[in-house]
Amino acid sequence: MTTMTAAEASRNFSAVLDRAEHGETITIVRHGRTVATVAPAPRRTGRDVRLALENGDVPPFDDDYESDIAGALALVSDETGDPWAEA
């Protein structure tokens, strides 16, 4: 985990976001006190949907089945990612 001052984070905010996007967590401090943490956003995958269905986090399907499926699909992201991203 990286620590930087609020002023440094402000001056380099785009770089802070790039680092978080690549999996790094950055702690922001002001006057020696932690005020924020910038971390990668959680990715939603098909596994998340399966677990939600198994754990009962998604209500049982009913007459609104189509909209329930659309809501579940909104939680899914591409699990494989872009194979050329690091090329």
Q: Which helix (H) or strand (E) holds 37?
A: strand 33-38
Residue closest to 38 by CA, chosen among 8, 17, 58: 17
Check: pTM over 0.85? Answer yes or no.
no
Sketch out the chain's domains with CATH numbers.
2-38 (3.40.1620), 42-79 (no CATH)
pLDDT per residue as tens digits for the range 23-82? 999 999 999 999 999 999 887 777 887 888 788 777 766 778 888 888 888 877 666 666
pLDDT category of residue 83 using cuts at 50, 70 and 90:
low
Name the nearest CA neighbour of 74 among 39, 34, 51, 46. 46
**Residue type, position 46, single letter:** G
